[in-house]
Amino acid sequence: MADIIERLEMSRSRAAAWLLDRLSTDGCPLGADIGNSWWRVPWALAVAGEREAAARLLGWVEREALDADADLREGPARGSQPASPVYQLAHLAIGASMVGFYDLSERLCQRVRHYQHPYGRGILAFRAGDRGEQEMLFTTQLGLLGVVTGHREMADDAYAWLCRLWEAQPDLGALKLYTRLDDQGLVTQFDEKSSRQAVVDFNLPQQMYFHPGAAAAFLADYAMRFGEPKAVPLARAMMQLNIEGDQGVQFDDLTSVQICKFGWGAAELLRADPKGGWLPHVLRMAGWFVERQDDVGAWAPSSFSIDRPLTDQDKMWKTAEHLMEVCQIQIALAGLGTRIPSPVSPAHAATSH
């Protein structure tokens, strides 16, 4: 145990240093004139203890990258993707809250609400609000934002939406998860282009395996923050998709890092569900992060999704994400203190839920 804790600390320090080297003295991030690779960085730096650097970057964001409505400004900051910007805005709002920029965080929270479905209460998948389609990862981010900022109604909306999504699932026995609701209910018909985002098969390679982990992290935090233990069984059930799915394609495929949020979910559940057998999963993912980090301290995104040489801009958003996840694993293990139980094998833990 001491060895993995030491390795995690080295990993954290190297990743934070890599990100700090890519910020200018006024907070401007590398590649800001090309695109937005920086939206995850303030949260990551804040949780890694680099609050001053996070504040510098957020100051630059407020001056240069947000419009009067606290939305991403047209141009490189916004890009041309049709997706709603909630994932980026919520990350920035969480980072702002963590460094005490509460006015900026609140402005971003209000803009996030702009992209909530008026009665479905999930987050719209597309900026234009096409078909009222609401997306799991974006709605999970709404819930996490509510937990961090204390906006109970946002967290409640996300929890209720995830319950409806889960109850509508038709193929859980086959380890398939559909991730979107629209005005007619669960979205199960989609074109080939959107299939990777709309359904996850945990027995197939190169899938978006991160959905249960992100949702479990929110549900565990929601249970602890607002005294809602009913959220924990849902988190357990979602994580079982990863646990029961093909381990090789999820954890061992060197072209994919889509399992990363499983480690975050397990780390949060280690505290919210202390008898759930999560420690071996946390330790497994701790090793996974350390082994996947490159020699200079960065992490790369899934190579199967990029058909060109990787740049530092590609690595910036992924390094920020993995840094945050490594820090959450460190925090979870530190919280165990002298109460660290004897690890059991992942196979045994999978049967303990």
The answer on pLDDT for 351 being more than 60 is no
Residues ≥6 apart with Cβ < 8 Å to 183: 120, 131, 132
- Catalogue the E-assigned strands of the chain: 134-135, 176-178, 180-182, 185-186, 199-201
Write the pLDDT tens digit of every residue in 132-158.
999 999 999 999 999 999 999 999 999
**Per-residue pLDDT at 163:** 98
DSSP secondary structure code for residue 306 in this structure = -
pLDDT bucket at 350, cuts 50 / 70 / 90? very low
Residue 195 inside a domain? The answer is yes
Q: Alpha-carbon distance 317 to 319, whole Å?
A: 6
* pLDDT, tens digit, 9 for 90 and up, residues 267-302: 999 999 999 999 999 999 999 999 999 999 999 999
Residue 303 lies in a domain: no
Q: How many domains does the chain have?
A: 1
Least confident of 128-142, 206-220, 226-240: 128-142
Phi/psi at 51 (5° precision): -70, -35
Q: Is 176 helix (H, G, I), strand (E, B) or coil?
A: strand
Residue 244 lies in a domain: yes
Q: Is 143 domain-assigned? A: yes
CB atoms within 10 A of CB 185: 11
Closest CA to 220 of 250, 263, 259, 167: 263
- Reported confidence tier of residue 178, pLDDT bands at 50, 70, 90: very high
Q: Which whole number is the average pLDDT over 239-250? A: 98
Residue 192 lies in a domain: yes
Sign of CA dihedral 4, 207, 84, 114: negative
Report the 10 Å Cβ neighbour count for 4: 16
Residue 238 near residue 140, CB atoms below 8 Å = no
Write the pLDDT tens digit of every residue in 180-196: 999 999 999 988 777 88
Question: Residue 151 falls within a domain, yes or no?
Answer: yes
Tell me the mean pLDDT in the region 54-59: 98
**For residue 126, how far is the Cα from the chain centroid?**
18
Mean pLDDT for all residues in the chain: 94
What residues are paired with 200 via a beta bridge? 177
Structural domain includes residue 38: no
Question: Which residues form the domain of 192?
Answer: 116-258
What's the pTM? 0.94
Encode pLDDT of 16-43 as tens digits.
Answer: 999 999 999 999 999 999 999 999 999 9
Token output for 121:
């209460």
DSSP annotation of 173 reads: G
- Residue 59 to residue 27: CA distance in whole angstroms: 7
- In this structure, is residue 47 part of a structural domain? no
Asked whether the beta carbons of 93 and 149 are under 8 A apart, the reply is: yes
